[in-house]
């Protein structure tokens, strides 16, 4: 996997290695060991959700205070304009945001 840092150090863009052949393609969507090796972060993802949105749908901001959650976004078809805003008052990046066009 390729890890791309952003202006907010805790927001990372992960690009999986995609293996193509005449049958189609294969990719590993999550591997805890590879993530830990590439990012030096030891995290535990405990929930996996899947949603589908119609074209031009805007989904809301997800904000957790007592039980913060990491978020993995996987684009199966089309594209997603994904925005992360740092709302942690204790961080030097408070109020900053990053956005990526994910495909």
| Residue the block writes with tokens 């900053």 | 96
The burial class, CB within 10 Å (0-12 / 13-18 / 19+), for 73 is exposed
The DSSP code for 78 is: S
Number of domains within the chain: 1
Checking if the pLDDT of 62 tops 80, the result is no
Residue 35: per-residue pLDDT:
94
What's the domain range around 11? 2-102
Which residue did the predictor score with more confidence, 102 or 50? 102
Kindly indicate the confidence band of residue 82, based on its pLDDT and cuts at 50, 70 and 90.
very high
End-to-end alpha carbon distance in the chain: 16
What is the CATH classification number for the domain harbouring 70?
2.60.120.10
Cα 92 to chain centroid distance, Å, stands at 21
Q: What value does the mean pLDDT of the chain take?
A: 90
């Amino acid at each position: 996997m390729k890890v791309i840092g952003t202006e907010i150090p805790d927001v990372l863009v992960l690009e999986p290695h995609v293996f193509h052949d005449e049958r189609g393609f294969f990719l590993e969507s999550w591997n805890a060991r590879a993530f830990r090796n590439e990012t030096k972060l030891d995290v535990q993802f405990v929930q996996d959700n899947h949603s589908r949105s119609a074209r031009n749908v805007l989904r809301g901001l997800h904000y957790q205070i007592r039980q913060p959650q990491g978020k993995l976004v996987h684009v199966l078809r089309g594209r997603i304009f994904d925005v992360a805003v740092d709302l942690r008052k204790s961080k030097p990046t408070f109020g900053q945001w990053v956005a990526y066009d994910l495909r």
